[in-house]
Structure 1
């Protein structure tokens, strides 16, 4: 969902044959989700709005605070 509560994309894991792949999120999406969580005062609520695991949003917030932008680029999360 975007910040207006409309879906941006399907963020579920996908199964192709016997291989399960994870959705990779771009840096701008991560920044917007974290910013909205700070604005609302609830990372958990924002995570649920976007059908994300709250721990992932908290991790994005920590990594943005530490400026570990290489880890946020998509491959490791």
Structure 2
């Protein structure tokens, strides 16, 4: 079971690395729609969330020597 989960994680990481820019654009569009629907009430929260998500996606491509993404390393 753990091998299947590792394979799934590896595939997700590969897809995020290959299509990170498109994913980031999608996140921005979704945030914009939500911002419009809420009359800008949560603009700061949406901006923060989108930036963190984009940073995480970028971090998937920059793995550390142990093979784990920097953003997901366990302590």
TM over 0.5: no
Larger Rg: 2
- Name the TM-score, length of structure 1 as normaliser: 0.33
- Name the TM-score, length of structure 2 as normaliser: 0.33
Structure with greater proportional strand content = 1
Structure with greater proportional helix content = 2
